[in-house]
Chains A and B, each alone.
Chain A
Amino acid sequence: MLFLSLLFAAAADGADDTNLKAGVFTPARPAPDFTLSGSDGSKLQLSKYLGKVVILAFGFTSCPDVCPTTLAVLAQARRNLGRDGDEVKVVYITVDPERDDAKRMRKYLAAFDPTFVGGTGSPERLAAVRREYGIAADKKRAGSDYVVAHSSYIYFIDRAGRLRALMPYGHTADDYVHDVRILLKR
């Protein structure tokens, strides 16, 4: 695992970060690992995807606007990547564990792309993950229901498991394709 990580890190150093459309972290730090309940019924562990580019998003299935837009863009980007799309894993972590169980997340994500995997868990566990990634989530009343105001940006984690970049909300599928292709360069 460590050897793989070092190998990918050495290869990824050659990629030109200044050409990314996303915001780039320098130096890139290791993406904090986590273990959550995956929407596919298995244990969702970030380090399992070492060797792939991970697109990490935070949201909730009842989100009225930001999440559906983002996930539709990511699904489009994956389609546009063609075979390279197999080298990309989209991970979507809920900020609403009260409503988002694994089954609900699986059904929701499948509507965008069946390869997307969701992560849920206890409120404490999810809060700890959000803290590690600097994600804000604030539960707000909306009539008889509630919504969760949350950070809308997306993280790129490279093949070596490093937190390389942050894409603000509003970018197109082409922008994602552009950046993923740079990050996939070996």
Chain B
Amino acid sequence: MRLTRWCLLLLAAAMAGMILWAAMAPITSASSEEIFEIPKGTWARRMAGNKLDILPSEIHLTLGVRNILVLKNMDDVPQVFGPALMMPGQTFRLPFELASSYQFACTAHASGQMTIVVAPMPASPLARLRWRLKALLMAAQRS
């Protein structure tokens, strides 16, 4: 009974520590680039009737953390990917400096539209906490 209480206390302390860290530690990133790639054979697979969603219809970036969108066309044919017509083997690197929501025409989506939401750098502890939770959720959704 006493051991269980200690374990619970320890767990609560660890969680509080994690929350404190998530709220206080500055947000950094090894790379400021968010990379998306059209794999080789995409066009052929589409022509064969496969429905492929390579690019999410909404991309989230954060100023000062990850604010550069990188699109790579590794397929054998030109692709309109976001705002750019990209030749095979080409990379398109688009930096963002203003927090806003950007709409681009994109033939890679059924809606024909792609939205890039650029959020400001989270400045307050609460904003950092919220940003980390959201990033965690998005990573979980992707995996």
Residues of A that sit less than 8 Å from B by CB: 18, 20-27, 29, 133-134, 136, 151, 153, 166, 168, 170
Q: Which chain B residue shows the least CB distance to A153?
A: B83
Is the pair B91, A26 in contact by a Cβ cutoff of 8 Å? yes
Please tell me if the beta carbons of B105 and A24 are within 8 angstroms of each other in the complex: no
Interface SS majority for chain B: strand
Q: How many A-B contacts at CB < 8 Å in the complex?
A: 47
Instruction: Enumerate 27 A-B pairs (CB-CB under 8 Å) in ascending A order.
Output: A20-B95, A21-B97, A22-B94, A23-B69, A23-B83, A23-B94, A23-B95, A24-B93, A25-B84, A25-B90, A25-B91, A26-B92, A26-B93, A27-B89, A27-B90, A29-B87, A133-B85, A134-B85, A151-B83, A153-B83, A166-B83, A166-B84, A166-B92, A166-B94, A168-B104, A170-B98, A170-B102
Q: Interface size (B, Cβ < 8 Å)?
A: 20
A25 touches B83 (CB 8 A): no
Residues in B whose Cβ lies below 8 Å from that of A168: 83, 94, 102, 104
Alpha-carbon distance between A166 and B89 when the two chains are bound, in angstroms = 17
B99: CB under 8 A from chain A? no
B22 close to A (CB within 8 Å): no
